[in-house]
Amino acid sequence: MTDKTDYRTAGTAWDNAWKIAAGLGFLGLAGAGAGFAADGQRFAFSYLFAFVVFLTISIGATFFVLLQHLTNAGWSVTVRRTAEFFMSALPIFALLFLPIAASVDHLFPWWHDHGAQHASATAVEHVEEHGPAAAEANHVEGMHSENAHAQHVAGHRLSNEEIEHQLHAEVMASKGWFLSKGFFVGRAVVYFLFWTFLAMKLFRNSTLQDTTRDLKLTNRSQSMAPAATFGLALTTTFAAFDWLMSLLPNWYSTIFGVQIFATTMVAILSVLVLMGYAMRASGLSGKAITTEHFHDLGKLLFGFNVFWAYISFSQFFLIWYASIPEETVFFHLRWSNGPWKYISVAIVVLHLVVPFALLLSRNTKRHAGQKVLALGAALILAMHVVEMYWLVMPNYAAAKGIGPDLAGALAPHWMDLACLFGVGGVYLAAVFYRMSQHAVVPVGDPRFARSKRFENV
């Protein structure tokens, strides 16, 4: 294969990639649509899983681009455009979010005024059992759940389940305004508006420079990067809280936003390695993406993968060590002796241990055509998909009332795959379409020549 010197996809197989992706996406969405009609609850979880798989890649791409501008990086210029393509399709997730908005009822236990319902239900029971006077007495004593509980034990023994029910209701009622329909939707709108603005602005600054060579565009991206990083960090955190953490509305973890940030970086870096590999193999990137870029991307992938492990471990370890029931519930669903435990172990081994060994050596990042590096990146990307499945799906079993120790807790469904193809197809079609419209490296960047020539010394 001869090297392209214009860095354009015209006349290569890449030019039609978006059509293939769109075709697959259409098939996937058709399947998912049929699933939606057949089993709305399963569809909801399958779709959310597929949605976060690709959303994290796209947000990761945006973080990557911002980090390059934030640090005025020169080395990464030739691979930055690939990240920009993956970033540029971020707005499409606003559309892809619609099926989630349509099935929030299935996904989020708090959506149907859970707390209020429980609270009123308990109150009614209470009044029925003890008459209005007892309920009044409770109220006077401050209505702490413990007080209520003590009263119950003295009079009529409440089952553990009922107590839990009531505690749950109180907690949910106390954060009702945050986990409320209007605010939830309002927040989502804010995230998508911000992400759309960011992705379009950064992409335009970069592609415009291909022809204008205007240095001001570099300055503009560099000067917006710090505030944009702030905004992206906050929106990503709260999106993670809204769409993933609140699946289990009683559970909380302060590190959760950082954890999702780590997954976005790991995802995009493995994508960049694989895309670079494919582009080089087909000659599309010419001589612009060199061994040095693979070496650096490999180092970053290795580093962020360890960072991801560090954050994930911190979350697990602190919750395990303190063993507070409100917090352990998350890992109870995933580490109990049941099918999910195998997935958890697989994530530790195949997302951390094996890639660690594959990517540690300088040789694997520089030699043998980066085959080992690409293998490591592919493994990490595959495990990224598994990790997102692991984050979302145990909640489906919980919603169905299937205990985590039962074989049925992990029940893969054809809809998982349909949604993965549906969301992935649409997203990648948008990415590859953008790719067919622009040079695949930022030829107008003032640091372009430097990036092509830099060496790891």
Partner 1 sequence: MSFDAPIKAIGEKDLVAPKSTFKSITEAVSRVTENPAPKGWWIAFLTAFSFTGVLLGSIGYLFWRGVGVWGNNSPVGWAWDITNFVWWVGIGHAGTLISAVLFLFRQKWRTSINRFAEAMTIFAVICALIFPGIHVGRVWHAYYMFPIPNQMGAWPNFKSPLLWDVFAVGTYFTVSSLFWFVGLIPDLATLRDRAKNSLRRMVYGFFSLGWRGSNRHWQNYERAYMILAALSTPLVLSVHSVVSFDFATSVEPGWHTTIFPPYFVAGAVFSGFAMVMTLLLVARSVFKLTDLVTITHVELMNKIMLATGSLVGYAYAMEFFVAWYSGNEYERYVFINRATGPYAWAYWIMITCNVISPQLFWSKRLRTNIPLSFVVSIFINIGMWFERFVIIVTSLHRDFIPSSWGYFHPTLVDITTYLGSLGVFFTLFLLFLRWVPMIAIAELKSILPEADPHFGDHHEEAHEGDSHGEPSLATSAEGH
Name the site residues for partner 1 (rule: CB under 8 A): 3, 5-7, 71-72, 75, 170-172, 174-175, 178, 213, 215, 218-219, 222, 226, 230, 233-234, 237, 241, 250, 252-258, 286-287, 299, 306, 310-311, 314-315, 318-319, 321-322, 324, 326, 443-450, 452-453
CA–CA distance, 418 with 251 (Å, rounded to integer): 30
In the bound complex, what is the minimum distance in angstroms from residue 144's beta carbon to partner 1? 8
Say if residues 364 and 25 touch (Cβ distance below 8 Å): no
| End-to-end Cα spacing for the chain | 30
- Quick one: 41 or 222, whose CB is closer to partner 1? 222
In the bound complex, what is the minimum distance in angstroms from residue 142's beta carbon to partner 1? 11
CA–CA distance, 356 with 13 (Å, rounded to integer): 33
- Quick one: 131 or 226, whose CB is closer to partner 1? 226
As given in the structure block, the two tokens for residue 374 are 């690409």
DSSP state, 4? P
- Residue at 57: amino acid letter: I
In the bound complex, what is the minimum distance in angstroms from residue 347's beta carbon to partner 1? 18
What separation in angstroms does the CA of 289 have from each of 1, 80, 279? 15, 11, 9
How many residues comprise the chain? Answer: 457
CA–CA distance, 298 with 300 (Å, rounded to integer): 5
Give the other-Cβ count within 10 Å of 431's Cβ.
26
In the bound complex, what is the minimum distance in angstroms from residue 390's beta carbon to partner 1? 17
In the bound complex, what is the minimum distance in angstroms from residue 445's beta carbon to partner 1? 7
What separation in angstroms does the CA of 209 have from each of 6, 73, 82, 203, 358? 15, 17, 15, 10, 37
CA–CA distance, 70 with 63 (Å, rounded to integer): 10
- Quick one: 116 or 406, whose CB is closer to partner 1? 116
- Quick one: 7 or 54, whose CB is closer to partner 1? 7
Say if residues 1 and 398 touch (Cβ distance below 8 Å): no
In the bound complex, what is the minimum distance in angstroms from residue 379's beta carbon to partner 1? 22
DSSP state, 158? P
- Quick one: 309 or 385, whose CB is closer to partner 1? 309
DSSP state, 348? I
Angle (nearest 5°) at CA 162 between 158 and 165: 150
In the bound complex, what is the minimum distance in angstroms from residue 70's beta carbon to partner 1? 8
Give the other-Cβ count within 10 Å of 390's Cβ.
20
Give the other-Cβ count within 10 Å of 143's Cβ.
12
In the bound complex, what is the minimum distance in angstroms from residue 288's beta carbon to partner 1? 8
- The radius of gyration computed from the CA coordinates of the chain, to the nearest angstrom, equals 25
In the bound complex, what is the minimum distance in angstroms from residue 193's beta carbon to partner 1? 21
In the bound complex, what is the minimum distance in angstroms from residue 213's beta carbon to partner 1? 6
- Quick one: 18 or 390, whose CB is closer to partner 1? 390
Mind giving me the DSSP string for 223-274? HHHHHHHHHHHHHHHHHHHHHTGGGSTT---TTHHHHHHHHHHHHHHHHHHH
- Quick one: 26 or 194, whose CB is closer to partner 1? 194
- Quick one: 84 or 327, whose CB is closer to partner 1? 327
- Quick one: 155 or 226, whose CB is closer to partner 1? 226
- Quick one: 253 or 344, whose CB is closer to partner 1? 253
In the bound complex, what is the minimum distance in angstroms from residue 254's beta carbon to partner 1? 4
- Quick one: 66 or 89, whose CB is closer to partner 1? 66
- Quick one: 179 or 419, whose CB is closer to partner 1? 179
Cβ partners under 8 Å of residue 99, min gap 6: 32, 36, 43, 47
As given in the structure block, the two tokens for residue 6 are 């214009």
In the bound complex, what is the minimum distance in angstroms from residue 219's beta carbon to partner 1? 6
CA–CA distance, 391 with 411 (Å, rounded to integer): 14
